[in-house]
């Protein structure tokens, strides 16, 4: 139940929230007009990778169209940079509706989410990024909105207090999170569809790099694309970032936009990114455990103190990819280098 003070001019509040929504939408549209965004997919068929997920979503979309109803609420989870926001925008285009985009940290007060909900139209999609960061009072407002499409507002003060029920159009909430376990059960259970987005294969990353490279006016050799894809950690966002840095290197050092394997290697060596996609921080992490603790086990806080890094940064940024590669193991006694991790560092 949300509380609105009788002192607040509700029409002013509504205008403020409407402006907030339109600004969010225009930022997305303006972004898509830039050359580097021209290759963003406009449909599920254009979206590269995630074949099983796309097949499932197509069934859900077609079923919704046959029912002439809104999509069920959808929760995407997975590591950053895999395309959760892009998928939400693609779903909106497939359904022929608008997509309102926001992030949980922006929803500081109850009236922020109320304004967004009351401005939605029938069938529209509300995308909330990092939804695990929602404050408890904001989350509770979503319960009735998601399940029964209404919100209860408490207006007035003292003896004049009254409850006003506001019916909402049927909409689709698409949530994205990198921390599924941090979402409360009541909120998670209200999503009809909960799907993981997996890291991309090298083949899919090659297609993405080639597609975005064309929008930059780049010419690749086959080996150059492979080198970029193999160092992208299975993440399109990283692949595009590396592509931009290689483009800059080519423009300055080679004075053209022809990208070959040698140029890619030189550009990424300048950024201290090795053949596995490990950066300097990851190498220092593995080397620290091997040299100082004979490969472990060693506690996270000890590693953080030794490297001069925050433990949260190590846990959320450095370790996930090392675990994915099989170079690191988390045990009850601490972090331990695997045989593969040990051999990789010794071979450098």
Residues designated catalytic: 84-85, 129, 178, 237
Quick one: tokens of 40?
A: 């963003």
**Concatenated DSSP letters for 287-314?**
HHHHHHHTT--B-HHHHHHHHT--HHHI
**How many H-runs (helices) and E-runs (strands) does the chain carry?**
15, 12
Residue 334, helix vs strand vs coil: strand
Hunting for tokens 């985009």 — which residue is that? 101
Would you say the C-alpha torsion 214, 218, 223, 227 has a positive or negative sign?
negative
268 burial (CB, 10 Å; 0-12 / 13-18 / 19+) is buried
∠ CA(324), CA(326), CA(331), 5° rounding? 100
Phi then psi for 100, rounded to 5 degrees?
Answer: -90, 125
H/E run at residue 239: helix 236-249
Question: 200 to each of 50, 77, 79, 146, 252, how far by Cα in Å?
Answer: 8, 14, 11, 31, 30
Check: CB of residue 242 under 8 Å from CB of residue 232.
Answer: yes
**Token pair for 254:** 């080679």
């Amino acid at each position: 139940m949300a509380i609105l003070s009788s002192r607040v001019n509700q029409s002013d509040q509504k205008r403020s929230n409407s402006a907030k929504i339109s600004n969010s939408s225009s930022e997305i549209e303006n972004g898509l007009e830039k050359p580097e965004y021209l290759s963003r997919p406009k449909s599920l068929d254009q979206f590269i990778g995630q074949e099983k997920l796309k097949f499932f979503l197509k069934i859900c979309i077609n079923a919704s169209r046959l029912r002439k109803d809104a999509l069920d609420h959808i929760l995407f989870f997975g590591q950053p940079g895999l395309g959760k926001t892009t998928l939400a925008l693609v779903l909106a285009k497939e359904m022929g509706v608008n997509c309102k985009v926001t992030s949980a940290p922006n929803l500081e007060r109850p009236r922020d989410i109320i304004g967004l909900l009351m401005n939605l139209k029938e069938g529209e999609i509300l995308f909330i990024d990092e939804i695990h960061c929602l404050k408890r009072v904001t989350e509770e407002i979503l319960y009735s909105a998601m399940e029964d499409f209404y919100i209860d507002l408490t207006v007035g003060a003292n003896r004049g207090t009254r409850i006003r029920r506001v019916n909402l159009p049927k909409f689709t909430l698409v949530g994205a999170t990198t921390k599924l376990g941090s979402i409360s059960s009541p909120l998670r259970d209200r999503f009809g569809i909960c799907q993981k987005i997996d890291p991309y294969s090298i083949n899919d990353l090659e297609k993405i790099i080639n597609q975005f490279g064309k929008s930059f006016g780049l010419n690749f050799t086959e080996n150059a694309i492979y080198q970029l894809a193999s160092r992208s950690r299975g993440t399109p966002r990283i692949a595009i970032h590396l592509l931009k840095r290689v483009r800059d290197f080519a423009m300055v050092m080679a004075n053209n936009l022809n990208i070959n394997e040698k140029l890619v290697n030189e550009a990424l060596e300048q950024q201290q990114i090795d053949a596995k996609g490990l950066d300097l921080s990851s190498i220092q992490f593995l080397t620290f455990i091997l040299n100082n603790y004979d490969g472990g086990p060693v506690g996270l806080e000890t590693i953080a103190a030794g490297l001069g890094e925050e433990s949260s940064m190590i846990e959320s940024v450095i370790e996930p990819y090392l675990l994915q590669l099989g170079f690191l193991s988390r045990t009850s006694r601490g972090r331990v280098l695997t045989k593969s991790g040990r051999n990789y560092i010794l071979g450098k």
